[in-house]
A and B are shown apart, each in its own frame.
Chain A
Amino acid sequence: MKEPTPSFFKAVFAIAHKDLAAEFRSRELLSAMLVFSMLVILIFNFALELDVKVRQSVTAGVLWTTFAFAGTLGLNRSMAVEKDRGCMDGLLLAPVDRSAIFFGKAISNLAFMLVVEAIVIPLYAMLYNETRIFQWEFLGVLLLGSIGYISVGTLLSAMSVQTRTRDVLLPILLFPVAVPVLLASVKASGGIVAGLPFEEILAPLNLLIVYDVIFLATSFMIFDYVVEE
């Protein structure tokens, strides 16, 4: 071969860019995730009677549940598209490291989730006059939680799309494994909204970081086994 194989970062960037460009044109995934998030918040509003008193304690839980559900929607769709259009086979034939595919997909999935969060959070703040969620700590927890959730979610969605029961299987596989990241995020961001001192949210924050590191590394290492033919 005359041309050198593309470097790892170039490949990661190319895959993420391909997903984002396609989404920018069609917007079908983001619009579905956003409308779904709105509906979940609407249902929570009436199911939990989100008045001023209740809101303080459940804001973090409502937001994280919404993002987790919207996240599975996005993860499912983004992998199913690869599989159905035969893009996955093309990617696997390309002379790039398999883990570059994992990082590319993880980055675009993370971008979708962050876009949804960036729209839902201000909207939630406006609807409920809840300005305490605009804190650097809160947004940091949001980012850390999303990274953990997406890294294990990308790996599992690559598995679930290859099974017979694909659409129903992803949440069943993902939620029990993602319990720590969701609960630690709820605990940490709930503490921030309640105005607890930083030392009090340090414990869930540490666990969140531990989870992110372990699962990002593991998913990256075993992604090879999930896509090999």
Chain B
Amino acid sequence: MQSKPMALTILDVLSIIGIGVATYFALVYAPTEAVMGNVQRVFYFHVGTAWVGLVGFVVAAVSGIVYLVTKDMRWDRFEVAAVEVSTMFFFITIVLGSIWARPAWNTWWTWDPRLTTAAVTELIYIAYFMLRAGIEEPEKRARFGAVYALLGGLSAPITFMVIRLFRTIHPVVVGTASAEAQGGFDMSGDMLTSMFVSLGAFTILFVSLMWHRIRLGGLEEKVEELKLKVSM
């Protein structure tokens, strides 16, 4: 295992600073929301983690396709890293949404399109890891993982559209707001700034974590190879 590259160290430092700044913007800089009060401040991390979770899902599906075409194990490690890191971020998104929903909607959970799609996506991620855990050969594991990541990436948007046929109360952050949305709020300039700071910070953190996970994948492969060599 080669020593840690300089760029990764810089990225690590940047992500720590970034998350620190984002926390400051969310907790101190942004104004307190007029009706809901301080709980609205979880919104910044909610949007940040949701964004990287979504990016990770797309990255996983795309690297699945690239793996199937090239059969290069590096793309498999890329895909696993994307799925694992975004599973973690999506978990935070869902819990934060739930915490916000309790005072805003007076319920921890509602079967709204966004919430349901997030939950189904999380289940697809878990199924993905269960599938991989059941296969011994690294090459087959990579192939099946890529196929499943691709199927998951295709079905998630359709899930969202289907559940939208049932109704929604989730506020729309980007685009026109639905009349039925509850707990929506007009964002002031300072709130928008805080949101973008959070988006930026989580993007840097995501890249850095993915890089670490890819390196871990490389280490895993090396150990597996050596194990085979020794046992022969």
User: Residues on A close to B: CB < 8 A?
Assistant: 152, 155-156, 159-160, 162-166, 169, 172-173, 175-180, 183-184, 187, 203-204, 207, 210-211, 214-215, 218, 222, 225-226, 228
| A223, closest chain B residue (CB) | B147
- Contacting B158 at CB < 8 Å: which of A159, A210, A228? A210
Contact of A207 with B143 in the complex, beta carbons under 8 Å:
no
| B97 proximal to A (CB < 8 A) | no
A-B contact pairs, 10 of them (CB 8 A): A159-B144, A165-B130, A165-B134, A176-B123, A176-B152, A179-B159, A180-B162, A183-B159, A214-B154, A226-B143
CA distance A193 to B141 in the complex (A): 44
Contact of A173 with B131 in the complex, beta carbons under 8 Å:
yes
Contact of A176 with B120 in the complex, beta carbons under 8 Å:
yes
Contact of A207 with B127 in the complex, beta carbons under 8 Å:
no
- With both chains docked as a complex, state the minimum distance between the C-beta of B151 and any C-beta of chain A, in angstroms: 5
CA distance A180 to B146 in the complex (A): 21
Contact of B134 with A169 in the complex, beta carbons under 8 Å:
yes
Query: Which residues of B have CB within 8 Å of A177?
Result: 124, 151-152, 155
Contact of A183 with B162 in the complex, beta carbons under 8 Å:
yes
Query: Which residues of A have CB within 8 Å of B165?
Result: 184, 187, 203-204, 207
| B68 proximal to A (CB < 8 A) | yes
A163-B135, A164-B134, A165-B130 given; A207·B154 CB < 8 A = no
CA distance A179 to B160 in the complex (A): 10
CA distance A196 to B53 in the complex (A): 38
- With both chains docked as a complex, state the minimum distance between the C-beta of A108 and any C-beta of chain B, in angstroms: 22
| B161 proximal to A (CB < 8 A) | yes
Contact of A218 with B143 in the complex, beta carbons under 8 Å:
no
A169-B134, A177-B124 given; A218·B162 CB < 8 A = no
CA distance A15 to B148 in the complex (A): 25
Binding site of B, secondary structure by majority: helix, strand, loop or mixed?
Answer: helix
Query: Which residues of A have CB within 8 Å of B162?
Result: 179-180, 183-184, 187, 204, 207
- With both chains docked as a complex, state the minimum distance between the C-beta of B206 and any C-beta of chain A, in angstroms: 23
Tell me which of A169, A177, A210 has the highest count of chain B C-beta atoms within 10 A of its own C-beta: A177
Total A-B residue contacts, Cβ distance less than 8 Å: 91
Contact of B154 with A169 in the complex, beta carbons under 8 Å:
no
- With both chains docked as a complex, state the minimum distance between the C-beta of A155 and any C-beta of chain B, in angstroms: 8
| B62 proximal to A (CB < 8 A) | no
| B55 proximal to A (CB < 8 A) | no
Query: Which residues of B have CB within 8 Å of A215?
Result: 151, 154-155
- Contacting A169 at CB < 8 Å: which of B124, B130, B136? B130
| B73 proximal to A (CB < 8 A) | no
Query: Which residues of A have CB within 8 Å of B127?
Result: 172-173, 176
Contact of A207 with B161 in the complex, beta carbons under 8 Å:
yes
- With both chains docked as a complex, state the minimum distance between the C-beta of B94 and any C-beta of chain A, in angstroms: 15
CA distance A132 to B93 in the complex (A): 43
Query: Which residues of A have CB within 8 Å of B147?
Result: 155, 159, 222, 225-226
| B102 proximal to A (CB < 8 A) | no
CA distance A155 to B123 in the complex (A): 19
Query: Which residues of B have CB within 8 Å of A163?
Result: 131, 134-135, 144
CA distance A166 to B165 in the complex (A): 34
- With both chains docked as a complex, state the minimum distance between the C-beta of A28 and any C-beta of chain B, in angstroms: 26
Contact of A226 with B144 in the complex, beta carbons under 8 Å:
yes
CA distance A187 to B131 in the complex (A): 30
| B39 proximal to A (CB < 8 A) | no
- Per CB-CB distance, the 6 closest pairs between chain A and chain B, nearest first, are A163-B134, A180-B158, A176-B123, A165-B134, A164-B134, A176-B124
